[in-house]
Amino acid sequence: MTKSSRFVIASHVLALLAHGDGEPLTSDWIAGSVNTNPVVIRRILALLAKAGLVATQEGARGGARLARPAEEINLLAVYRAVETGDLFASHPQPPNPACPVGCHIQGALAPTLDAAEDAMTKSLAQTTVADVVRQVKAAK
């Protein structure tokens, strides 16, 4: 199973932009901080721009910057901008309905998985990009 790192990379990107006090940052510069390919950063920036979290500008003085204050961007908005689908995937094939576990497993797990997803979304909604930047600065 592959885990997505889009949310973590997007959070890193937004923290960099917030830390930069409004100066536009290039995808090459951001990629150096994230330690990834600039193409990965451009894809993430495109998703963040589509969600209205960053603004990008081409040209000699181009780059990316936050589209609104870091205090107004919570991590739930970041997560929703770059991740798709449910947090927990269901069986790729329906379980065997003749099996005493298979016929009830999805219904049995649903309340627990729903509660876990609710807890995650509430936690992300309570944390802003500004909070992340404060934590980064405090770690120095």
For 136, what's the count of Cα atoms within 13 Å in the CB-facing half-sphere? 16
126 or 94, higher pLDDT: 126
Q: Could you report the per-residue pLDDT of 22-77, keeping only the tens digit for each?
A: 889 999 999 999 999 999 999 999 999 999 999 999 887 789 999 999 999 999 99
Rounded mean pLDDT of 105-114? 94
Structural domains of the chain, count = 1
The values of phi and psi at residue 103, to 5°, are -75, -15
Quickly tell me which residue has 């005493």 as its tokens.
100
Better-predicted residue by pLDDT, 62 or 18: 18
Query: Which class for 55: exposed (0-12), middle (13-18), buried (19 or more C-beta within 10 A)?
Result: middle
Higher per-residue pLDDT: 80 or 92: 80
Closest CA to 15 of 127, 139, 138, 130: 130
The CATH number linked to 78 is: 1.10.10.10
1: pLDDT strictly greater than 60: no
Predicted TM-score (pTM) of the model is 0.88
Query: Confidence band (pLDDT; 50, 70, 90) for 4?
Result: confident
Residue ranges making up the domain that contains 115:
6-138
- Name the average pLDDT for the chain: 93
Q: Give the integer Cα–Cα distance in Å for 60 and 14.
A: 21
In-domain check, residue 1: no
Residue 55 forms part of a structural domain = yes
Confirm whether 131 is domain-assigned.
Answer: yes
Q: Compute the distance between CA of residue 43 and CA of residue 50 in angstroms, rounded to an integer.
A: 11
Task: Supply 127's token pair.
Answer: 């944390």
Q: How much is the pLDDT for 2? A: 66
Going by the DSSP 8-state scheme, the letter that residue 74 receives in this structure is B
